[in-house]
Amino acid sequence: MRHLFIVDPVPGLKPDADTSVVFMREAARRGHRLATCGVADLSVGPGGRTRARWVETHVREGRDWYALAAAGEGELGEFDVVWMRKDPPYDLNYFFVTHLLDLVPPTTLVVNAPRGLREVTEKLFILRFPELCPESLVSRSIPELLEFRRKLGGEMVIKPLDGCGGEGVFHLTAQDRNVQTILELGTRHGTTYQIAQAYVPEVREGDKRIILVEGEPVGAVLRTPLHWETRANFHVGGTAVKATLTPRDREICARIGPALREFGIVFAGVDVIGNWLTEANVTSPTGIQEINRLDATRLERLVLDAVERRFAAPRG
């Protein structure tokens, strides 16, 4: 099979951290041929077919993990599988790329499905399951956000809807004199939506990333924050700690998993703090390498198995 990975620049990928790297390595182990490109290399040509400029890519183990070979150009329909692995933010350019991927012929499998990438917005999708989430408000009204904080007892967390890696996340308390300024910056003076959620104190114990393949949980890692940080993301210094799935985790996955499958999401990462679902990540979720090291497993095998099954199944 031929696989095209749409990724951030390959030289910047981290061989011991990035999930895209283990996907490419596993595909290569199975004898598949790989190529890589960026979103800037995509276009739509005559006939309404999405095209790309790509580079044939060879991968191996170790830190010197890749070699770029011959350049190519053509329709994405020449590949068996196209992986959309561009990191967030989910901005208008990302949105437009999902429409370009909709033009790829059905004989090519796109992972995750473009419709799913559009519909399963990472901060908002969870609100379809309010019983699983901390009390939440989506608003760009500063007075409304302040009133929500008062209703919660003076404490909440706010996040930008298009943020990633913990960027723009604030823990706001009743004693914080900067709240008005933070909300002005976050909402851009009332012109941009934020999601506010009740603060879950169990975040000090860790933010659990659960990996789902075809909607089923296959592994988890606890991301514990630095003692001076609110955020537990690896990107900002969170530490990976071995984790197991609790009955509540399994309940959350059982509720959200079928919806992810319906939207064509092969691989996802959901975040759980305490007993509450806080995000569903489908654009470029990470965490596999940390789980592999802690659990002595190879979760990428399960993902490639699922991709190969989907490719073999009838599509129209």
- The sheet carrying 194-198 orders its strands as 136-139, 194-198, 156-160, 170-172
61 is written with which tokens? 């183990």
Q: Beta partners for 57?
A: 68
Q: What are the b/e assignments for 173-190, b being 16+ CB within 10 Å?
A: eeeeeebeebbeebbeee
Query: How far is Cα 217 from Cα 275, in angstroms, rounded to an integer?
Result: 16
Pair 241, 206: CB distance under 8 Å: yes
Query: How far is Cα 304 from Cα 27, in angstroms, rounded to an integer?
Result: 7
Please give the DSSP secondary-structure letter assigned to residue 114. H
What residues are labeled active site? Answer: 123, 159, 209, 223, 231, 271, 279, 281
Query: How far is Cα 216 from Cα 267, in angstroms, rounded to an integer?
Result: 9
User: Distance between terminal CA atoms of the chain?
Assistant: 19
| Greatest distance between any 2 Cα atoms in the chain | 60
Query: How far is Cα 3 from Cα 59, in angstroms, rounded to an integer?
Result: 13
Query: How far is Cα 261 from Cα 269, in angstroms, rounded to an integer?
Result: 13
3-state secondary structure 137-189: EEECCHHHHHHHHHHCCCCEEEEECCCCCCCCCEEECCCCCCHHHHHHHHHCC
Rg (CA), the chain: 20
Please give the DSSP secondary-structure letter assigned to residue 115. H
